[in-house]
């Protein structure tokens, strides 16, 4: 199972969970699974065209996904995806 | 009589309540570090419903509602407003939330960035793209103004459910007479001094249009340079800027009960967007723009180097009417007597994007 770790401000949208486990071969498929269970959470992470939100980072086993394959980044059964908002705003 | 005043800012929402419109209890922020550009107080039902478009820079936009005057908020599980996949577009912002006419109590409209109109038939829980405007052949030629390319004004006809006016920057005014299936530009006489042809069919940078529900053929328009009136539902426009110190600005508000009474907050030229002489002043016309009177009793007399944005001025529905505005410097002022006297409601807030007020 792939594990997604969420920042605290998103826990309410995952019914209080700090971690979600899904079965997925890529990051995009993992987010599809999130959409099935928690649609209000998933749209914080991707827009309606399936694009990752610019100021949300996805560290797949320690590496930000945009330096890997983006939404096509492959995941293993033991992958951990850390969702971390980037530095933005003022 | 209790009045609710909603203040949407660059960094959250504040709510203010008053029984006399002179002493206000201000609470907030709610939705901190989000942009609240659009807010509606829907008073058509048995109790008021609040609707807010809340934009988080990290996590995107949602529309929330409250049926207990902002004590608690509800967000639909599915995205309230989303562009269909085939459009290839993604929602950037909601600039306007407009309840429909009284005889359509569940209809709510949303004007968005990129420029599009959405319609809800369930009170604002879910919205559907109005395809007729999205598919308009002019759309590739609409382009962003300084704030983005958005439909910022939505004016449903109060009696004819097939008629509606929208305005966008840039693009100008468009109107439909067949329920949104087809749209025609309605900008004759409105200047676009940033284009080679200064009076094009469309492409104007209209900042705001206002309509009085009892006289829907009469419209008032604050342009990117120019203030206009139409007496034929947008078929043609004539200048009403004589008597104003400047023809630039963003806001245009109609009196809730007196057709032809309008309010405006002039700013100097596009290259110098401050109130003239740094003096904070609302202008009111009581004859449909034929003449204007400055109203500034209780407002800062000098050093007001701020501005009032397109939705940061409004009227409530009381009699006498209350008039309200908020500034980019985070000050909010209210008048309980139709603009004759002003009092500060709040200060030191973030930039005020929108204010909305209603008797609750």
pLDDT in the model for residue B146? 79
* Alpha-carbon Rg for chain A in angstroms: 12
Go through chain A and tell me how many residues it has: 90
Residue B106 tokens, joined: 């569940």
How much is the pTM? 0.97
User: Which residue, among A71, A64, A58, has the nearest Cα to A29 in the 3D structure?
Assistant: A71
> Which residues, including other chains, have CB under 8 Å from residue B333's CB and lie 6 or more apart?
B298, B299, B324, B325, B326, B342, B343, B344, B345
Pairwise CB contact (< 8 Å): A48 & B90: yes
Rounded mean pLDDT of A37-65? Answer: 97
- Least confident piece of the model among B133-147, B167-181, B323-337: B133-147
Share of chain B above pLDDT 90, in %: 96
The chain A residue lying nearest B58, using CA atoms, is A55
The side-by-side arrangement of strands in the sheet containing B215-223 is B206-212, B215-223, B227-230, B238-239
- Predicted pLDDT of residue B270: 82
Q: List, for residues B133-158, the tens digit of each pLDDT value.
A: 999 999 999 999 878 899 999 999 99
The answer to whether the Cβ–Cβ distance between B79 and A49 falls below 8 Å is: no
The verdict on a CB contact (< 8 Å) between B85 and A49 is yes
Task: Return the pLDDT at B272.
Answer: 87
Within 10 Å of residue B271's Cβ, how many Cβ atoms? 6
**Predicted local distance difference test score (pLDDT) of residue B356:** 98
Residues in A closer than 8 angstroms to B90, CB to CB, are 47-49, 51
Give the whole-angstrom CA distance, residue B18 versus residue A90.
31
Pick the residue from chain B with its C-alpha nearest to A45.
B59
pLDDT tier at B27 (50, 70, 90 boundaries)? Answer: very high
Distances (CA, A) of B338 to B135, B315, B316: 41, 9, 10
Helix (H) or strand (E) holding B47, with range, is: none
Q: Do B90 and A40 touch (CB under 8 A)?
A: no
Is B156 within 8 Å of B98 (Cβ atoms)? yes
Q: For residue B148, give the nearest of B123, B131, B134, B168 by alpha carbon.
A: B168
CA geometry: angle at B296 spanning B292 and B302, to 5°?
120
Contact B10, B35 (CB under 8 A): yes
- Tell me which residue in A53, A86, A89 faces B60 most closely, judged by beta carbons: A53
Would you say B97 and B53 are in contact if contact means Cβ atoms under 8 Å apart? Answer: yes
Chain B nearest C-alpha distance from A24 (Å): 22
Shortest Cα–Cα distance, B44 to chain A (Å):
28
Nearest chain B residue to A9 by CA distance is B59
pLDDT number for residue B145:
81
Q: What is the mean pLDDT of chain B?
A: 97
The verdict on a CB contact (< 8 Å) between B82 and A48 is yes
Cα–Cα nearest to B100, from B167, B51, B37:
B51
Distance separating alpha carbons of residues B214 and B184, to the nearest angstrom: 23
B114 CB neighbour count, 10 Å cutoff = 20
Do residues B354 and B311 touch, judged by C-beta distance below 8 A? yes
B94 token code pair: 């909601």
| Dist CA B206 CA B11 (whole Å) | 26
Q: Do A85 and B58 touch (CB under 8 A)?
A: yes
> Using 50, 70 and 90 to split pLDDT, how confident is the model at A89?
low
Kindly list the residues from chain B whose CB atom is less than 8 angstroms away from the CB atom of residue A42. none
Q: Which two tokens stand for residue B86?
A: 């085939």
Question: How is A8-62 classified by DSSP, letter by letter?
Answer: GGGGGGGTT-SEEEE--SBHHHHHHHHHHH-HHHHHHHB-TTSPBPTTEEEEETT
pLDDT tens column, B66-89: 999 999 999 999 999 999 999 999
Among all residues of chain B, which has the CA nearest to that of A55? B58
Interchain contact B347–A (C-beta under 8 A): no
Q: What is the 8-class DSSP label of residue B42?
A: E
Cβ distance B83 to A55 less than 8 Å, yes or no, reads no
* Average pLDDT of span A20-27: 97
Residues of chain B with pLDDT > 70: what percent?
Answer: 100
pLDDT value at residue A87? 85
User: In B, which residues are within 8 Å of A15 by CB distance?
Assistant: none
- What pLDDT is attached to residue B79? 97
List Cβ neighbours of B120 (8 Å cut-off, separation of 6 or more): B80, B106, B107, B108, B109, B110, B126, B127, B128
Q: How confident is the model at residue B271 (pLDDT cuts 50, 70, 90)?
A: confident
pLDDT in tens, B34-71: 999 999 999 999 999 999 999 999 999 999 999 999 99
**pLDDT tens for residues B185-234?**
999 999 999 999 999 999 999 999 999 989 999 999 999 999 999 999 99
Q: Which residues of A touch B77 (CB under 8 A)?
A: 39-40
Q: What beta strand segments (E) does B268-335 contain?
A: 282-285, 293-295, 313-315, 323-326, 332-335
Q: Do A53 and B88 touch (CB under 8 A)?
A: no
Angle made by CA atoms B267, B268, B274, in degrees to the nearest 5: 65
A78, with CB counted inside 10 A (0-12, 13-18, 19+), is exposed
Is the Cβ of B91 closer than 8 Å to some Cβ of chain A? yes
Question: Which residue, among B59, B76, B78, B126, would best test binding to A if mutated, counting the most A CBs under 10 Å from its CB?
Answer: B59
DSSP state of B140: G
Query: Is residue B82 less than 8 Å (CB to CB) from chain A?
Result: yes
Tell me B171's DSSP state: B
Q: Which three-class secondary structure state does DSSP give residue B19?
A: coil
- What is the spatial distance between Cα B302 and Cα B186, in angstroms, rounded to a whole number? 39
**Which residue, among B11, B34, B60, B73, would best test binding to A if mutated, counting the most A CBs under 10 Å from its CB?**
B60
User: CB-based contact (8 Å) between B137 and chain A?
Assistant: no
Cross-strand bridge partners of residue B20: none
């Amino acid at each position: 199972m792939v594990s997604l770790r969420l920042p605290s401000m998103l826990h309410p949208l995952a019914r209080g969970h700090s971690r979600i486990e899904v079965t997925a071969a890529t990051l995009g498929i993992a987010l599809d699974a999130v959409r099935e269970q928690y649609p209000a959470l998933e749209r914080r992470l991707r827009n309606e065209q399936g694009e990752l939100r610019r100021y949300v980072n996805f560290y797949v086993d320690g590496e930000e996904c945009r330096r890997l394959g983006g939404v096509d980044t492959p995941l293993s059964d033991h992958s951990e995806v850390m969702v971390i908002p980037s530095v933005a705003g003022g | 009589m209790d009045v609710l005043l909603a203040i949407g800012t660059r960094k959250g929402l504040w709510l203010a309540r008053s029984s006399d419109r002179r002493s206000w209890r201000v609470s907030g922020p709610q939705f901190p570090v989000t942009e609240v550009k659009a807010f509606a107080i829907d008073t058509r039902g048995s109790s008021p419903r609040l609707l807010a478009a809340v934009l988080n820079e990290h996590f995107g936009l949602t529309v929330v509602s409250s049926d207990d005057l902002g004590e608690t908020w509800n967000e639909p599980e599915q995205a309230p407003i989303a562009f269909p996949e085939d459009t290839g577009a993604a929602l950037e912002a909601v600039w306007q939330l407009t309840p429909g006419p009284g005889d359509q109590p569940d209809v709510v409209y949303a004007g968005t960035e990129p420029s599009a109109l959405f319609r809800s038939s369930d009170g604002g829980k879910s919205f559907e793209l109005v395809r007729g405007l999205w598919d308009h052949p002019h759309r590739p030629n609409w382009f962003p103004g300084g704030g983005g390319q958005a439909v910022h004004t939505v004016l449903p006809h109060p009696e004819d459910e097939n008629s509606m006016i929208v305005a966008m920057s840039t693009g100008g005014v468009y109107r439909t007479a067949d329920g949104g299936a087809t749209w025609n530009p309605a900008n004759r006489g409105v200047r676009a001094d940033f284009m080679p042809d200064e009076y094009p069919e469309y492409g104007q940078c209209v900042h705001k249009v206002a309509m009085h529900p009892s006289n829907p053929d009469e419209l008032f328009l604050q342009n990117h340079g120019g203030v206009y009136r139409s007496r034929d539902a947008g078929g043609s426009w004539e200048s009403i800027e004589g008597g104003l110190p400047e023809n630039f600005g963003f806001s245009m508000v109609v009196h809730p009960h007196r057709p032809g009474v309008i309010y405006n907050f002039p700013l100097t030229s596009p290259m110098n967007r401050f109130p003239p002489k740094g003096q904070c002043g609302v202008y009111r016309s009581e004859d449909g723009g034929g003449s204007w009177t400055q109203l500034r009793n209780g407002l800062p007399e000098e050093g007001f180097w701020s501005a009032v944005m397109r939705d940061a001025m409004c009227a409530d529905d009381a009699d006498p009417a209350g008039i309200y505005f908020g500034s980019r410097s985070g000050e909010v002022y209210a008048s309980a007597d139709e603009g004759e006297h002003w009092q500060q409601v709040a200060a030191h807030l973030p930039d005020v994007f929108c204010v909305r007020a209603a008797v609750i």
